[in-house]
Amino acid sequence: MNEENITNDNLGSIGIGAMIVFIALILVAAVASAVIIQTGEKLQQNAQQTGSDTQREISGKVTLNSVIVKDANTFRVYFESSPGSDVLDEDQIEWQMSCTNPNGLTTGYQYLNGDFGATVHAASGAALGAAEDIDSGSSYIIDLTVDGGSGAQCQADIAANNGLGLNSEVTLWIHVNGGGSTYETLYISDLTPGSLVI
């Protein structure tokens, strides 16, 4: 009669368990690496978009050098294109101005707007021609008429009881089409022509 001794061998089951753990670790590592790669790509895309937006903003923006009271109905703006800006078309630059006028024909909130089509060279005083544009590094002047009639008055002077008067503020925005915007608050501390408001 043949006797067979049956012995339990646990080494095989330990190997299978180790293989399952190993495969699980590989799967976890694959998922983690996929998440890291996807996050890296998303961050790169965001960085590129932010860089493009910033470059567009900088490459088309106006810097205000000073603003003065020219006369009762006009502010004179001295400006240039921001460093690094491309050549700007003055017809593609818009300005808007708002104030709260307690003395106007229509008191309360006032709004005016226009473009930079009447820009002149600061050095020569000559108006820009049809083919000329605003070059980087050159200074320019534009006069903003701030008496647009009822509901559009932001004059500094209170002549004819229509202006803002002393210690008033005017909000000025300058927008470049396809570029950036410039924001300034004009503080009226002197009504004399030639007085700085920025």
For domain 62-188, give the CATH number.
2.60.40
- Residue 122: per-residue pLDDT: 81
Residue that has been written with the tokens 């670790």 in this structure:
25
The two beta strands, 120-121 and 140-145, are antiparallel
In what side-by-side order are the strands of the sheet with 181-188? Answer: 108-115, 93-101, 168-176, 181-188
Question: Which amino acid appears at position 180 of this protein?
Answer: G
Q: What is the pLDDT along the chain (198 residues), one digit of tens a residue?
A: 566 665 666 656 677 778 888 899 999 999 999 999 999 999 999 888 887 777 666 667 888 999 999 988 899 999 998 877 778 888 889 999 999 888 777 778 889 999 988 888 887 888 887 777 888 888 999 999 988 877 788 888 766 567 888 888 999 999 998 888 899 999 998 888 888 998
Helix (H, G, I), strand (E, B) or coil at 160: helix
- Residue 56: per-residue pLDDT: 65
Query: What is the token pair recorded at 15?
Result: 């190997």
Cα distance between residue 8 and residue 56, in whole Å? 75
Residue range 78-128, pLDDT digits in tens: 999 887 777 888 888 999 999 988 877 777 888 999 998 888 888 788 888
Rg (CA), the chain: 34
Instruction: Tell me the pTM.
Output: 0.70
- Residue 160: per-residue pLDDT: 58
- Residue 18: per-residue pLDDT: 81
Query: Looking at the DSSP assignment, which residues form a beta bridge with residue 140?
Result: 79, 121
113, 96 in Cβ contact below 8 A?
yes
- Residue 37: per-residue pLDDT: 93
